Amino acid sequence: MFLTALTEIAPDSGSPGYVTAAVLVSAILVLLYLVIVAFRVRDSARRLEALESRMDSAGDRLPPLTEDPGAPADDGAVGDAARVAAEASGAKR
């Protein structure tokens, strides 16, 4: 298909040799770009796999969680709203 497009250039188009060369150079640049992107994607996939394996091995060494990690911590820093309001109004007096 690509070669037939190159041969369909009209012979009276000025300088078909330059047009053909420009098309070939453009095609080579696009292919080179695709090769570079493919290598970068492959490298990123390898790095991601290595990171996942490091996280898996680190997770095996950690002790199991005893609490729900999504539950809020009850450290007494934040009380219920009524107690906080009472303390605030008492502090103003």
Query: Would you say residue 36 has pLDDT above 60?
Result: yes
Tokens encoding 46: 């390898």
pLDDT at 77: 54
CA–CA distance, 19 with 27 (Å, rounded to integer): 12
- Which one is predicted more confidently, 57 or 36? 36
Read off the amino acid at residue 74: D
Torsion of Cα atoms, 60 then 65 then 70 then 76, to 10°: -140
pLDDT at 56: 84
Give me the mean pLDDT over the 76-84 stretch: 61
Give me the mean pLDDT over the 8-33 stretch: 82
Tokens encoding 25: 């150079």
**In whole angstroms, how far apart are CA 78 and each of 47, 57, 92?**
42, 36, 19
Give me the mean pLDDT over the 85-93 stretch: 63
- Which one is predicted more confidently, 19 or 67? 19
CA–CA distance, 93 with 76 (Å, rounded to integer): 24
Give me the mean pLDDT over the 37-44 stretch: 97
